[in-house]
Amino acid sequence: MTDDRGGPTVPGPVPGDVDLGRVWLGVAAQVWRRSPGPLERLATRVLRSPGLARALVTTPSLLLGWVVATMVVLVAGALATRGTGTPFVALLAPGVAAAGIAYGYGPGIDPAWELSCSMAVSDRMVLLVRALAVFGLNAVLGLAASAASGAATAVTFGWLVPMAAVCALALATATVAQSANVGVAAGVAGWVIMVLSGQAAAGRLAAAVTDTALVLPYLAFAACCAVIVLVATRIPRGMS
């Protein structure tokens, strides 16, 4: 603003009965106000928490671009499976899901990180809801791609258990390291090592998802990683 001579206007004294803090809170509320979409309204009804629903729909790995990229990778795996007979969907799905799980958490990479930290709902609940949503979506997309590729039923469902283990590893690493990128690196690297180890031991690239002897170790490892996540996201004593 300028005065009649073109110079800057010098602000006058603020009336004592004006609460500037409250005024600017109202201005910020209008600036950042966003009408919830149909998915957010549905999540609000299911979760019974508008804040938790907003945190869920702003999960980086549930945004449209990430979902489309996941679908592209799985479709490419389905085409490769049809052409070679190797169950590439079953080998790709756990790594893709691990990356998505890791990016469901992370200060500096999550647009709703501050929101989730300031809500009455605990960080652990936000993380749990996000992890289940990301895992469920990737499982559905993987099953659809695996079925479209014509893979055997055993392979179609066999990768779900190792997928849970790899996702748990990625999530545990991300929460402990406070970095989504570190979680992605740990999850993907762990899965690549597992696949290569299975090929070296059994001579088959798909041994990591078809060997039933690995089911219990996968489940035990996933349980251990889940405990690490629970410990890392616990509420400090004396805080509610």
Which segments of the chain have a pLDDT < 70? 1-34, 106-108, 111-121, 152-154, 235-240
Sign (positive/negative) of CA torsion 130, 131, 134, 139? negative
Residues 23, 24, 27, CA angle at the centre, nearest 5°?
95
pTM (2 d.p.): 0.77
pLDDT in tens, 18-45: 566 666 666 555 545 667 778 888 888 8
- pLDDT score for 104: 80
> Within the chain, how many helices (H) and strands (E) appear?
12, 0
Distances (CA, A) of 239 to 113, 234, 236: 19, 10, 6
pLDDT in tens, 155-173: 778 889 999 999 999 999 9
